[in-house]
Amino acid sequence: MGWVVAEASPGGLVRVSLVDGPGAAPGSEEPAAAAAHLVRLQEEFEAYFRGDRREFTVPLDASGTSFQREVWAALQAVPYGEVVTYGALAAALERPSSVRAVASAIGRNPLLVVVPCHRVVGADGRLTGYAAGVGRKRTLIDLERAGATAPRLMPDAEGAGLLTLSPAEAQGVIAALVQGGVPFEEVGPEAAGCAGPEVCVLRFAPGQAPGPIGLALHAARGVTP
């Protein structure tokens, strides 16, 4: 995904970009309030990319016209893990004949990821028009779809989480978990209350976030959930 470059004012985030390199650092004389917004953004971004966060709570202070702000607010209403077309977004704004204007406002979104313009796709489902590149747009969409379908783990008596898999998918999921650095152990089917050996049961430590497990399932299946 490259680097995240962010700027903030005392009122909130002003700009968030995804770039190939760090570039020039913003000025170091930010007021304490502005610096606090950046620290909070870093924490929330780390959780988002782990699959543990779906919404951002950092205050926003981006400049834009009233129409642009209306469009950006509509973007924030698109649910995590879902996509919407430009036409559908224009219709939701009660401006069905203003698709081009809505698309232009989306293209001027200064707060990438935080204001999720990556969730907007073409009428035929194609990924188009993303300031940080279509490759990053695909990564963000895949990340969110995997996170949105992360499995509910069955708790055991010690507070750990159990995931039951069919033998057909177990090998691929285990390989993806290992590659992703997600710790787990294989346990017997009886741990999940299964009478026969026809399932594979994985045990995750208490507190393990489901997001990385969802990403592993997504990678193993090789399809968009």
Instruction: Name the residue ranges covered by the structural domains of the chain.
Output: 1-148, 150-221
Burial call 179-214: b when 16+ CB within 10 Å, e when fewer = eeebebeeeeeebbeeeeeeebbbbbeeebbbbbbb
Q: Tell me: the pLDDT tens digits for 172-209?
A: 889 989 988 889 999 988 888 887 678 889 999 998 87
Q: Which of 117, 177, 213, 217 is catalytic?
A: 117
117 catalytically annotated: yes
What CATH code is assigned to 1-148? 1.10.10.10
For residues 202 and 196, is the Cβ–Cβ distance under 8 A?
no
Separation between Cα atoms, residue 12 and residue 110, nearest integer Å = 13
pTM: 0.74
CA dihedral 159, 160, 162, 163 (to 10 degrees): 130
Q: Tell me: the pLDDT tens digits for 6-53?
A: 999 999 999 999 998 876 555 555 688 899 999 999 999 998 987 778
